Copies of this chain bind each other. A is one copy, B any other.
């Protein structure tokens, strides 16, 4: 194997143009250093003094000049080929680069008019960076053209692919740092090219920007040699081009030539696909760009090498305000960019340099795709009530709640097939989660090879399946960040794989909601089917309902959690979620045949309220009950109603109120969450003093965390998952965690002020039932008939 030589494509650009591009780059670098260091004297009109330096120096220089370099070159090809392109900055700490470039191209001042195109504006631009009351050092929501902050590394490439699905004219230039390239999510994201349709999707142009170091260490990719680099990316299915260098004019020439080549290849692939939509998977070009970390920055500081080493990562000169020599060095560094040749007397970029940037929405800072709400169409939704299960009697067994939902989702796909703004994502669990119906109208999008026995694999499809929750979530995030809609269906336990991605997305939503110019994004919808209670067959590793604990830690304004108890409620909830904007909606639902409780009219009322008394199950007849039995989630609802049926038959004098909760946030105080019930309403439901037996889908203490301020909190006794499970029967899962009907009956009896003989007898009977259950399942391996075949309102 020959080592990969640089793929140098001779450029036909004039030296004059390359020099101008270099000047533009110098301007961007100057602005970057200015942002990190200066709060005054932005054009160095006077000698640099300590008082011009910020008191706290924060920022990341290392990645910045390379990103400035890429930006100016992309600007050229955008103009030349009239490209519709956005820029994703994987090394998110390179904020100065993107802020600087969007300022130079004019978008920054359009969005933030106080940051004017003159010396005063420059001073403000510099001062606000990494400054209290100013802007973060990342490519944060505040930065025009950003749809990806990159504070946590790993997701740039997944976001890029999500952005180009169904955006056939869009090119996302995705800059990936060699630090980020070490992460797992990024490592598998390279395979996204097997899911991209060259005709109907856009293009991702990855630029692997190797500057050699992460924080204090060299990176793997910088030290494996060009031969392995080439093999790796060919193996990933790309056509890699590598250029490297440190002499600016040489690298400019190489990069310009290469970008012309790469854009032509992209255009050729697109043209070929238009002529023959069945072309086999193209090898899209990608660029590996090796330049020094902290390029053009100080070569050495205090005798230690800086440029081209890990020491260039953050602020290369740390003490210019207190060290004269270093102040001088900083001044020389700034002056090395020759600002006087770049900006006019007022501090505005010279017109001949301005000309290098694209105009209008072609500017990457102004491309509406990076402000996805601005190019977002509402979904056309079918009337969800038409998918209702007819309720002949309470407790009738339905075909599986998510199975019913499947038909609705199928029609969502169908109705939006023209505007192409809905996709379904999942780690190969669409069938397992019983959304089978969707395959009546669509397929899995797949650019890999196919064979005769395959099912539902096509070059175009609305279903995206890959065995990587990171990819599913990242693609969906990218898809919604560019204004489209989607649903991620996932096993409940394994959604924790993307806990951290959820965090970052929720933070993005919180901050963008506070920026007027950012338009509201479609919500990110997560359906957790295959939940904890029905992982009896997969065992303990598959049992974890804690994602919703994680979700409710984020800002109340952006998170919603729903636990529909049956299919009609699931339809109502999902329709609501798909219409909503700027939330993360988490819906937990069952996939197995299970009892149905509400007809569609009742379901609509119930889901609209989010919480309510189920009168038909209660016998308190509008009076104060003896006990409240609350439930949230399909299995807890089943066990609660089974317990109620026992109690009502055996102790008919006991007044029971049954409350079901669909919208978990209703439990919180109204001061804490916009969906929160008032204390008065809460008290009216849960009483001020009666025992509440609460059967909950997830970990029990979440209910306490949500209700600890409520009047009757000390009477709320919660059953939920307490981390007990294995391979067993479905009912035994509830028994292991004491959420089962026999334990719930005992819970009620234990909280009554005194027990009648009948009640005392019933309690003993419940214990016997549990013994009988254990004996039965360990003999037969299935649940005993009285449990398996139970239907409301039979007791047992």
Instruction: Give chain B residues whose Cβ lies under 8 Å from the Cβ of A55.
Output: 780-782
Please give the distance in Å from A491's CB to the nearest CB on chain B. 9
Q: How far is the CA of A708 from the CA of B538 in the complex (A)?
A: 34
> For residues 491 through 517 of chain A, which have their beta carbon under 8 Å from a beta carbon of chain B?
493-494, 496-497, 499-500, 503-504, 507, 510-511
Q: A470 in the interface, Cβ–Cβ < 8 Å?
A: yes
Instruction: Give chain B residues whose Cβ lies under 8 Å from the Cβ of A217.
Output: 428, 444, 457, 465
> For residues 295 through 343 of chain A, which have their beta carbon under 8 Å from a beta carbon of chain B?
305, 308-310
Q: Of B39, B187, B542, which contacts A187 at CB under 8 A?
A: B187
Instruction: Give chain B residues whose Cβ lies under 8 Å from the Cβ of A448.
Output: 218, 220, 223-224
Q: A267 in the interface, Cβ–Cβ < 8 Å?
A: no
User: Which of A21-29, A134-142, A408-416 lies on the face that meets chain B?
Assistant: A134-142
Instruction: Give chain B residues whose Cβ lies under 8 Å from the Cβ of A465.
Output: 217
Would A56 and B782 count as touching, CB distance under 8 A?
yes
Known: A218-B457, A699-B553. A539 touches B781 (CB 8 A): no
Encode contact with B along A199-236: 1 for CB under 8 Å, 0 otherwise: 00000000000000011111110011100111111111
Q: How far is the CA of A392 from the CA of B625 in the complex (A)?
A: 63
User: Which of A149-157, A382-390, A395-403, A590-598 lies on the face that meets chain B?
Assistant: A149-157
Known: A133-B778, A215-B431, A708-B704. A183 touches B468 (CB 8 A): yes
Least CB separation from A129: chain B residue: B727
Q: A374 in the interface, Cβ–Cβ < 8 Å?
A: no
Encode contact with B along A445-486: 1 for CB under 8 Å, 0 otherwise: 010111101110100000001111011000000000000000
Q: A729 in the interface, Cβ–Cβ < 8 Å?
A: yes
Least CB separation from A466: chain B residue: B182
Which residue, of A130, A431, A553, A729, has the highest number of chain B Cβ atoms within 10 A? A553
Instruction: Give chain B residues whose Cβ lies under 8 Å from the Cβ of A218.
Output: 446, 448, 450-451, 454, 457
Q: How far is the CA of A511 from the CA of B539 in the complex (A)?
A: 12
Least CB separation from A543: chain B residue: B507
Encode contact with B along A651-678: 1 for CB under 8 Å, 0 otherwise: 0000000000000000000000000000
Q: A549 in the interface, Cβ–Cβ < 8 Å?
A: yes
Instruction: Give chain B residues whose Cβ lies under 8 Å from the Cβ of A450.
Output: 218, 223
Would A431 and B216 count as touching, CB distance under 8 A?
yes
Would A134 and B453 count as touching, CB distance under 8 A?
no
> For residues 707 through 745 of chain A, which have their beta carbon under 8 Å from a beta carbon of chain B?
708, 713, 723, 726-729, 732
Least CB separation from A672: chain B residue: B701
Q: A237 in the interface, Cβ–Cβ < 8 Å?
A: yes
Please give the distance in Å from A364's CB to the nearest CB on chain B. 21
Q: A185 in the interface, Cβ–Cβ < 8 Å?
A: yes
Q: Of B1, B152, B229, B542, which contacts A151 at CB under 8 A?
A: B542
Q: How far is the CA of A136 from the CA of B542 in the complex (A)?
A: 11
Q: A62 in the interface, Cβ–Cβ < 8 Å?
A: no
Q: Of B507, B538, B704, which contacts A541 at CB under 8 A?
A: B507
Copies of this chain, whole number: 2
Please give the distance in Å from A557's CB to the nearest CB on chain B. 10
Q: A251 in the interface, Cβ–Cβ < 8 Å?
A: no
Would A215 and B778 count as touching, CB distance under 8 A?
no
Instruction: Give chain B residues whose Cβ lies under 8 Å from the Cβ of A237.
Output: 224, 228
Least CB separation from A557: chain B residue: B723
Least CB separation from A508: chain B residue: B541
Would A224 and B188 count as touching, CB distance under 8 A?
no
Q: How far is the CA of A699 from the CA of B229 in the complex (A)?
A: 43
Would B188 and A184 count as touching, CB distance under 8 A?
yes
Encode contact with B along A240-261: 1 for CB under 8 Å, 0 otherwise: 0000000000000000000000
Number of residues from A at the complex interface, CB < 8 A: 121
Please give the distance in Å from A440's CB to the nearest CB on chain B. 16
Least CB separation from A60: chain B residue: B538
Least CB separation from A504: chain B residue: B541
Instruction: Give chain B residues whose Cβ lies under 8 Å from the Cβ of A233.
Output: 235
Q: Of B151, B220, B451, B453, which contacts A538 at CB under 8 A?
A: B151
Please give the distance in Å from A436's CB to the nearest CB on chain B. 10
Would A781 and B131 count as touching, CB distance under 8 A?
yes
Known: A231-B232, A540-B507. A466 touches B220 (CB 8 A): yes
Q: A705 in the interface, Cβ–Cβ < 8 Å?
A: yes
Please give the distance in Å from A562's CB to the nearest CB on chain B. 20
Least CB separation from A194: chain B residue: B220
Known: A151-B539, A220-B194, A235-B234. A309 touches B453 (CB 8 A): yes
Q: How far is the CA of A701 from the CA of B552 in the complex (A)?
A: 10
Encode contact with B along A768-796: 1 for CB under 8 Å, 0 otherwise: 00000000011011100000000000000
Known: A130-B727, A179-B467, A781-B131. A231 touches B235 (CB 8 A): yes
Instruction: Give chain B residues whose Cβ lies under 8 Å from the Cβ of A187.
Output: 184, 187-188, 191
Please give the distance in Å from A508's CB to the nearest CB on chain B. 9
Encode contact with B along A50-80: 1 for CB under 8 Å, 0 otherwise: 0000111010000000000000000000000
Q: A168 in the interface, Cβ–Cβ < 8 Å?
A: no
Least CB separation from A213: chain B residue: B428
Which residue, of A541, A549, A777, has the highest number of chain B Cβ atoms within 10 A? A541
Q: A576 in the interface, Cβ–Cβ < 8 Å?
A: no
Instruction: Give chain B residues whose Cβ lies under 8 Å from the Cβ of A362.
Output: none
Q: How far is the CA of A538 from the CA of B528 in the complex (A)?
A: 33
Instruction: Give chain B residues whose Cβ lies under 8 Å from the Cβ of A58.
Output: 537, 727
- Pairs A–B under 8 Å by Cβ, sample size 30: A1-B234, A54-B781, A56-B537, A132-B778, A133-B728, A137-B537, A138-B539, A138-B541, A151-B539, A152-B493, A182-B466, A183-B184, A183-B188, A184-B468, A184-B470, A187-B188, A214-B428, A215-B431, A216-B428, A216-B431, A218-B451, A228-B234, A230-B235, A231-B235, A233-B235, A234-B235, A504-B541, A550-B550, A702-B705, A705-B705
Q: Which 7 A-B pairs have the closest CB atoms?
A: A151-B541, A232-B235, A184-B184, A231-B235, A223-B448, A187-B187, A187-B188
